Amino acid sequence: MSPPLELVITTGEPAGIGPEVALQAAQLFLQENSAAQVTLLGDPTLFKIDQQKSPSPWTKRLQIEPIRLKTPAIAGQLDQTNAPYVLSLLDYALAGCMSGRFSAMVTAPIQKSIINQAGIHFSGHTEYLAQQCHCSQVVMMLCANIPAEILGLANLQPLRVALATTHLPLNRVAKSLQSETLLNILSILHHDLQTWFAIKQPRIAVAGLNPHAGEGGYLGREEIDIIEPAILVAQQQGITVTGPIPADSLFNPRNLPQYDAFLAMYHDQGLAPFKLATFGRGVNVTLGLPIIRTSVDHGTALDLAGKGLADSSSMLEALRLAFQLAQHRVQNEANASRP
């Protein structure tokens, strides 16, 4: 038998719900999957494990790798002296993934503001990992399975929403869009949907930036000057892509069976409809990296930290997706090695 695939969880902001949901989800995930093991990264004081319970069969497949806090954490109270600790979790997990020890990284939520207050420029996991991996372009994509009967669907449908821009102020979005960048994003999206998600010929729908996708130029020219040229070149390269489509009609339940992924132009354009439809069970995956990285689709929830009220559903889904993607990669590598 093949050895278990090892996933690593960075448990995020120590004053938030990350350590709690990471432990809960890891325990549930390991009960589901006998071919996996999980390593939690973080200060051992953050994990409340019931020592009275008898060991379960999966217990040996759950490890806590200690990384010490600079200052003891108090639930719900941010402390900027622990900002380097949060980044050290990411660095440790990334090194383990690059070395091949870990098959995938799953990240718990962090508090961007407190890291910046500590004097460290930080705009998000996606951008940080891209920089550390020396990747000029990565793509943030949110994934979830929408159950049948929700939104009037006859069958369960996957929803995947990728973003052309990530953590930018809205007044900078239009200026940041370039045809070459959009073409790279479409290429990454097409490639990783094939390689990691095992979709032979992905179908991608692209949103317009402006209301009514610019209304033929009367409500903005970004569609004509930037988005349409990128789509045309992508189509010439064999990518199945449609658009630009007005965003208010793109995210329509009738479109879900027609496309494997939707590309939104900016953060809230894609994430607002996604989160409305997925009920907190979404997963964030970074495409274009040399490693597999998934994450929860929620924040640190400081108001819930330490109260036993946090929902670990998104973290569990992030583990499930990371495991699935890692399995696909192993299979792809096995196929490539065959004569």
Per-residue pLDDT, 13 = 96
DSSP for 57-77?
A: TTGGGEEEEE---SS--BTTB
Two tokens, residue 212? 């009514």
Per-residue pLDDT, 50 = 58
All domains in the chain, ordered by first residue: 1-135+289-339 (3.40.718.10), 137-286 (3.40.718.10)
Per-residue pLDDT, 151 = 78
DSSP for 313-339?
A: HHHHHHHHHHHHHHHHHHHHHHHHH--
- pTM for the whole thing? 0.89
Phi, psi (degrees; rounded to nearest 5) at 307? -105, 0
State which residues of the chain have pLDDT below 50: 51-52
Q: How far apart are the first and last CA of the chain?
A: 22
Per-residue pLDDT, 52 = 45
- The alpha carbon of residue 94 and the mean position of all alpha carbons in its chain are separated, in whole angstroms, by 15
Which amino acid makes up residue 159?
L
Instruction: Confirm if 5 and 323 have CB atoms less than 8 A apart.
Output: yes
| Torsion sign, CA atoms 181, 182, 184, 185 | positive
Please count the other Cβ atoms lying within 10 Å of the Cβ belonging to residue 249. Answer: 13
Two tokens, residue 53? 């319970």
Axis-axis angle for helices 313-337, 18-32 (nearest 10): 50
- Non-local (6+) Cβ contacts of 266 within 8 A are 163, 164, 165, 168, 170, 173, 209
- Non-local (6+) Cβ contacts of 71 within 8 A are 79, 81, 82
